[in-house]
């Protein structure tokens, strides 16, 4: 009760973000409905796991190519207009799934899925980078914790209700629900009022001042030059990352951690079906445990308000230990508890990391950096899932055991280097 009331009080205080939060919740649940129904439709139509892999793989490339472009658009266009457009354009794309009736029509599904991923790649960094503009600075960590609640709720409610809807009413009902969710999200976003850029310029940290600070800290002389192509995207990204050690750490984090998350996404099915013999309902149980952990992380992340980086390091170390422990448990109930704790640590770490990123990046370039981060994390996640599927397919639980230990060693090594680079 206390946990729920604290969320409601925070949303009441941050009225503009409240619309943003509900829009993200509706958007995410609709997307989960569509994903569950899409995979079900592909399997029932073709019976091919390769066709499922192709559908998931086609969603990776748009993030690599378009996520940085989504961030770049925030430097030239209104965030609200970008998010309105990307939501509205997804309504007919979601409805186009209704045209798929046989294997010969799967090209429609693949095309629509790719275009939906393109719209999401543009939308995601714009939405994320807009959060600091809508909330009070002292509430930023709590809001980022609330984002984890949203992700957990989407994981639990979206996947669960999406599966029921698709099973009882058919995948077509889930596709229609997804389209309606995009439309509702657009209506909510239309009511969000972002502050004008003029209102944020007084508090803006210039890129040049960041470079001067970095140069002074390193003790090296440097001449900051302005060229006609200074605002060229690779140049701006390079100058931003070079001028901030925190950004370098965050980008390394987004390159490594999604690799482990991708392995985990594949291993959930292996553990539920092959190791614990729970069948498909076990997969849903483990995903529900992950969602529960993300929801709970909001309560604990607030205690790291002044310990953001130590919080990230601590969560990485604990996650590494839990990954090792998960590879040797024999009872399903223990595995469920470990998945809850894994998601809890992941949610706290993500909230701390997002807050660090938002604090370190000037508002003008925040969308651009979030575009880069989204491209890195989504691409590595997709490649990791593909690689893990290929490895585990040949050996099942044995390779799952090996992948868990890779995750443990990787988490510990990354946490150690993170602390040494940015430690006390």
pLDDT digits (tens, 9 = 90+) for 5-52: 677 888 888 888 999 999 999 998 888 888 778 877 777 777 665 676
Domain ranges of the chain: 16-192, 232-424
What's the CA gap between 10 and 139, in Å, rounded?
8
Evaluate whether 387 touches 399 at the Cβ level (below 8 Å): no
What's phi and psi for 76, nearest 5 deg?
Answer: -125, -25
Do 16-192 and 232-424 come out as alike in CATH topology? Answer: yes
**This prediction's pTM:** 0.77
Q: What pLDDT was estimated at residue 199?
A: 46
Q: Is domain 16-192 annotated with CATH 3.90.45.10? A: no
Q: Which CATH number fits domain 232-424: 3.40.800.10, 3.40.640.10, 1.10.10.10, 1.20.1250.20?
A: 1.20.1250.20
Between 421 and 297, the higher pLDDT residue: 297
DSSP string computed for 212-269: HHHHHHHT--------TTTTSHHHHHHHHHHT-HHHHHHHHHHHHHHHHHHHHHHHHH
Q: What pLDDT was estimated at residue 162?
A: 72
pLDDT digits (tens, 9 = 90+) for 257-269: 777 777 777 677 6
Evaluate whether 156 touches 291 at the Cβ level (below 8 Å): yes
C-alpha separations of 346 from 5, 74, 83, 97, 148 in Å:
23, 28, 27, 33, 9
pLDDT digits (tens, 9 = 90+) for 192-242: 888 765 444 444 455 555 555 544 544 544 433 444 444 465 676 777 777
């Amino acid at each position: 009760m206390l946990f729920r009331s604290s969320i409601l009080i925070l949303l009441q205080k941050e009225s503009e973000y409240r619309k943003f939060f509900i829009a993200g919740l509706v958007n995410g649940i609709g997307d989960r409905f569509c994903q569950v129904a899409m995979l079900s439709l592909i399997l029932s139509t073709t019976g091919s796991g390769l066709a499922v892999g192709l559908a998931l793989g086609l969603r990776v490339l748009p993030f690599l190519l378009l996520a940085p472009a989504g961030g770049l658009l925030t430097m030239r266009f209104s965030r609200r207009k970008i998010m309105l457009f990307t939501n509205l354009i997804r309504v007919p794309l979601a409805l186009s799934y209704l045209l798929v009736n046989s294997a010969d029509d799967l090209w429609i599904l693949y095309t629509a899925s790719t275009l939906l991923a393109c719209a999401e790649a543009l939308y995601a960094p714009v939405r994320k980078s807009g959060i600091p503009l809508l909330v009070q600075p002292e509430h930023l960590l709590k809001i980022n914790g609330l984002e984890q609640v949203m992700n957990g709720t989407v994981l639990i409610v979206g996947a669960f209700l999406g599966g029921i809807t698709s099973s009882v009413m058919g995948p077509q009902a889930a596709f229609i629900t997804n389209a309606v969710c995009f439309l509702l999200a657009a209506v909510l976003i239309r009511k969000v009022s972002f502050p004008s850029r003029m209102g944020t310029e007084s508090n803006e940290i210039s890129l040049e001042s960041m470079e001067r600070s970095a140069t002074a800290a390193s003790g090296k002389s440097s001449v900051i030059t302005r060229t006609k192509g200074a605002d060229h995207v690779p140049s701006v990204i390079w100058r931003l990352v070079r001028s901030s050690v925190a950004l370098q750490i965050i980008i390394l984090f987004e390159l490594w951690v999604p690799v482990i998350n991708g392995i985990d996404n594949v291993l959930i099915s292996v553990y539920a079906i092959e190791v614990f013999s729970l069948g498909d309902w076990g997969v849903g149980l483990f995903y529900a445990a992950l969602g529960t952990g993300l929801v709970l992380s909001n309560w604990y992340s607030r205690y790291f308000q002044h310990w953001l980086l130590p919080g990230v390091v601590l969560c990485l170390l604990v996650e590494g230990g839990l990954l090792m422990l998960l590879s040797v448990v024999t009872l399903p109930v223990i595995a469920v508890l470990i998945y809850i704790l894994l998601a809890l640590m992941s949610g706290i770490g993500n909230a701390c990391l997002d807050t660090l990123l938002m604090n370190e990046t000037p508002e003008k370039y925040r969308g651009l950096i979030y575009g880069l981060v989204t491209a890195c994390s989504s691409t590595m996640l997709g490649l990791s899932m593909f690689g893990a599927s290929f490895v585990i397919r040949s050996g099942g639980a044995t390779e799952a055991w090996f992948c868990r230990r890779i995750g443990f060693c990787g988490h510990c090594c990354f946490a150690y280097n993170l602390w040494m680079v940015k430690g006390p």
